[in-house]
Amino acid sequence: MKTQTPAQLGAVIRTRRKQLKITQKELAMTCGTGLRFIVDLEKGKPTCQIGKALQVLQAVGLAIEITTSGGNEMP
């Protein structure tokens, strides 16, 4: 799945969280972030900290893969 905007990333995280049947508060506690951060991340706030966003992705079993525009994976 190509995710190119903060809003798309937030939607993917929200969908996965709901699949796991956990609340935003539970996710925040698991990741060591505040509830507000989870809410903002799921809404696609573009200024969310990348480090915290990566923690959230890991907590819900998602990962980011970096590729070049041509679709090739970076080493």
Domains of the chain, by residue range, sit at 6-59
User: To 5 degrees, how large is the angle CA 51–CA 9–CA 54?
Assistant: 20
Domain covering 6-59, topology: 434 Repressor (Amino-terminal Domain) (1.10.260)
Give residue 71's pLDDT band: very low, low, confident or very high (50, 70, 90). Answer: low
Instruction: Return d(Cα 50, Cα 54) in angstroms, integer.
Output: 6
Residues 1-58 have pLDDT tens digits of 788 899 999 999 999 999 999 999 999 999 999 999 999 999 999 999 999 999 999 9
What is the structure's pLDDT at 68?
83
Label residues 30-66 b or e (16+ Cβ within 10 Å = b): ebebeeebbebbbebeeebeeebbeebbebbebeeee
Is residue 40 within 8 Å of residue 9, measured between CB atoms? Answer: no
